[in-house]
Structure formats: structure tokens, C-alpha cells
């Protein structure tokens, strides 16, 4: 799945004052790219991720997902896209504390109305991909931080999405555990996943092939890692 942003602007109304979070952002991301989106706090990273992930739509400009204009989609269609095409990994894991690993990973498939037998197969496959087949019946409080993030990654993969969006995925982890999680992303990319990584840390961004830097809602640079180096 390819995505293209053309002159995307996002303006938020705050106390009757328009705040421009994105200012004419344009770029393409091809299938199976590994891209890091970087920038300081307030640069527009989170806003951009929300638009790419169909959690929000541009105020102006165009966002094309496989050639289709996301801005023309209904709320129901946006929800379908999020559930079927995009996997999300967040800094805070967002796991259900009373559910075990299997049921946390299975949850998106329940929302999708999938039959139990297929749900079990896909959930087990996703859990195995992140190396937690032996932890399937454990609850989040029985897991380390790195293991919890692996569960979150498995959940994001279970619908076999076209794009994997990760927002500061190592932010709550120590450096060694963070390195292990980045190895998981590197492996997923080598297996064909498109990965878009939002981070403010250079050593995390260095795993990607391409680095897009934002500053004050605009693209400051868009370089392949060989060029950035």
C-alpha cells in the first residue's frame, strides 16, 4: 500500500484562534519502506501520524492511500481502514490488564467479526512472530516492559495490515530492551511490512532507511539514511 500527502495542512481551533500544526506537508511513502519521522516537541509529528493513521483528516490538501482520497471517507470507512490496513504501536502499550496475551492480540479480530477458528490461528501466528508463543496465557502484569511491547506489536500485526505505525515505541523501555524491540521492527520490515516510526531519538531513527524531519509543521529535510549520514 502506498501513501501520498499533497500540501497537507492541519489547523486546530484553540480558544477561537487557529493553530497551524502542519503547513503544506508533501511526501510519498512506497510499499515496504522503513521511514522515521523526527522532530522536536511541537513540530507536528503526532498530528502527522494521526493523519497517516486515519485518526484525523487534513484541514486542506490531500492524503491519498493507494490512490484513494482519505479526506472523502466517512467515519465508518476511516474506522474500517484503521482496522484492516493500519497497525498501531504506542509508547504506553495500551493492553487490557485483565486479559492474557492471546486475548489482547485477538481483540482486533473480534471487532472485525472474524470466526473463532481463524481468530485463533491468526493470533497465535502473530504472537509467534514476536517470540512470545510461550507467554500466550500470561497477563500483562506478568510480563516485562519489552514483552508487553511485543504483545502490542503482535496485536498491531494480527489483522495483517499494510502499514505499521509506531509512535515512540521504545519510549518507556530501557536502552537494552529498546534495542531488542527495534530488532523486532527490523525483522518485520525484512519480511515485507511498511513501517513508519515516529521518534525524537537519533539512534532509534537510524534503524529506518529514510528520515523525514519536521520543524514548526513543515518538512525540514527528507533524506535516505546514507544521505543523512
* 65 pLDDT more than 60: yes
Whole-number Å distance between alpha carbons of 229 and 210: 11
* 78 pLDDT more than 70: yes
pLDDT digits (tens, 9 = 90+) for 114-139: 999 999 999 999 999 999 999 999 99
Smallest Cα–Cα separation from 9: which of 217, 194, 164? 217
203 sits in which H/E element: helix 202-205
pLDDT digits (tens, 9 = 90+) for 173-191: 899 999 999 999 999 999 9
Whole-number Å distance between alpha carbons of 36 and 33: 10
What is each CA distance from 222 to 31, 100, 147, 225, in whole angstroms? 17, 41, 33, 9
Q: Return mean pLDDT, the chain.
A: 92
Whole-number Å distance between alpha carbons of 74 and 80: 10
3-class DSSP state of 4 = strand
Q: Which band of pLDDT confidence, cut at 50, 70 and 90, is reported for residue 228?
A: low
* 103 pLDDT more than 90: yes
How do 163-167 and 218-224 pair as beta strands?
unpaired
146 sits in which H/E element: helix 145-157
Are 213 and 202 spatial neighbours (Cβ–Cβ below 8 Å)?
no
Are 200 and 39 spatial neighbours (Cβ–Cβ below 8 Å)?
yes
Q: What percent of the chain has pLDDT over 90?
A: 79
Are 189 and 158 spatial neighbours (Cβ–Cβ below 8 Å)?
no
* Torsional class of 31: left (φ above 0), alpha (ψ -120 to 50), beta (otherwise): beta
Q: How many other CB atoms sit within 10 Å of the CB of residue 52?
A: 23
Give the pLDDT score at 162.
87
Q: What percent of the chain has pLDDT over 70?
A: 99
Amino acid at each position: 500500500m502506498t501513501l501520498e500527502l499533497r500540501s497537507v495542512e492541519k489547523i486546530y481551533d484553540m480558544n477561537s484562534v487557529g493553530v497551524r500544526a502542519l503547513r503544506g506537508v508533501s511526501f510519498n511513502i512506497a510499499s515496504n519502506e522503513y521511514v522515521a519521522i523526527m522532530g522536536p516537541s511541537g513540530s507536528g509529528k503526532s498530528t502527522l501520524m494521526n493523519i497517516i493513521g486515519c485518526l484525523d483528516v487534513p484541514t486542506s490538501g490531500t492524503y491519498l492511500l493507494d490512490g484513494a482520497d482519505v479526506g472523502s471517507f466517512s467515519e465508518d470507512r476511516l474506522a474500517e481502514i484503521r482496522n484492516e490496513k493500519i497497525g498501531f504501536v504506542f509508547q504506553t502499550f495500551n493492553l487490557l490488564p485483565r486479559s492474557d496475551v492471546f486475548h489482547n492480540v485477538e481483540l482486533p479480530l473480534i471487532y472485525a467479526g472474524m470466526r473463532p477458528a481463524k481468530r485463533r490461528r491468526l493470533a497465535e501466528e502473530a504472537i509467534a512472530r514476536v517470540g512470545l508463543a510461550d507467554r500466550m496465557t500470561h497477563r500483562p502484569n506478568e510480563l516485562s516492559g519489552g514483552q508487553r511491547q511485543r504483545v502490542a506489536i503482535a496485536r498491531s500485526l494480527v489483522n495483517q495490515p499494510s502499514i505499521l505505525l509506531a509512535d515512540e515505541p521504545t519510549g518507556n523501555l530501557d536502552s537494552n530492551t529498546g534495542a531488542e524491540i527495534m530488532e523486532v521492527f527490523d525483522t518485520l520490515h525484512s519480511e515485507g511490512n511498511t513501517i513508519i516510526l515516529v521518534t525524537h531519538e537519533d539512534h532509534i531513527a537510524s534503524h529506518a532507511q529514510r528520515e523525514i524531519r519536521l520543524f514548526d509543521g513543515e518538512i525540514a529535510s527528507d533524506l535516505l539514511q546514507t544521505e543523512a549520514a
